[in-house]
Structure 1
């Protein structure tokens, strides 16, 4: 009876080995767990804060660091509203992929406070899910105008950037021309670059679908943002391809889901069809 009562009042630790393991799990193990947590928090081998879309994060890490583009230097500069409609509305119109929504004063207040130069720098170099120049083919001034359009719509007071003044030496060139009339061969030399320019134009026209994709579609389709079928993903595109190119083009023109009409671009229906065909071909 007394032995049973004594056993009943003793604790679960009955041997030195049990005492050792109990001490280990009670004191030593928590120390190592805390060290492991600290190492994880301070290490760089983890997703950045807010990067819940691993495919998007990967796409951002491996995106190209440079491109070669052909642009018409003589075309009129686009207004900020036009650049926004062609390039920015796809994300900023609905606030997709972390983009501050157009006209949302609360979302833009902190950004406006950083100043025009900071906003322009972010737009030119890219930030978050937005690629450099949002993946478009506009000049820095045109991007600046789009930045002003977005910021001012949310309460900013930035001035619209203007084109630089035309070069002045044109007036001084007239007397020189009068003093030494240009010989006939000079005319031939001046006309020579016309052929490469025409060839460049033909190249751009031939790649309209790819060019429009890079300008307006890649923001969402490159990483499958907001439900957009990822470019080159055969499984995601298979049921869509089965609908036929006409049905896909109609959806792109009218808009579907989070995608605005024509992907937020001002492209013609024929160009939209070319871009759709480019994405279909990439998924076959």
Structure 2
């Protein structure tokens, strides 16, 4: 639940776990794309999640934390995440991993812009400037007119919008729901959505000896990533937590170069750096404002 004093250091550690999890999931998602469509990946990922979450709830004796309170918000939150995650899985199969992550990094920009509408947070001048700098970074990565605006670029950018909406709704849920409750409904609701979507064409590819390990990895990594993010959001503001995720870019760029011979695109790296600078400016201002409100704080001369 929310703490009266943000715990930035602990939130950073939780986000480190999220970074490793999301990077692993990107690799597994690309390997699975040969056999499974994105809906099937989401379905099997959610089945793994249901087993793990149910086991944790049983061993910890916390099934009583799982309630249907605000189930509508749980459904909305997971429908938005389901949409964003499917767009993301598609993007990792058609454009370089570093490009996907660079565009996904615009998630904090959307959090900044949407938080005043959905969380009642104030839209300050610094936040507006941060958003403008972030969009400049998007233009550098996408380079409309200089490079073809592919479906992969569009889906990667759209996934960031849905992930931002997911982040905001998660922040709302942490005010009255336990992490176990949030994770349980995450897996159950998205399993239903995944089954319905993957079965529309009347065909659902079953796991094979080759795909089963990657499906297990996607399920565990996705669950761990959300567990880490939910813990981080429970102890620090969304506009502070999300920027820690930027450490993923150099990691995934190197992985893409080694595993898939993807070149280190200078425009992608430059655009991501511009996006990061905008978000960092906002984070710095947020931290400075919080320090100024602490009792006995002496401003720098």
Structure label with greater radius of gyration: 1
User: With structure 1 as the length reference, what TM-score do the two structures score?
Assistant: 0.22
User: With structure 2 as the length reference, what TM-score do the two structures score?
Assistant: 0.21
Tell me which protein shows more helix as a share of its residues: 2
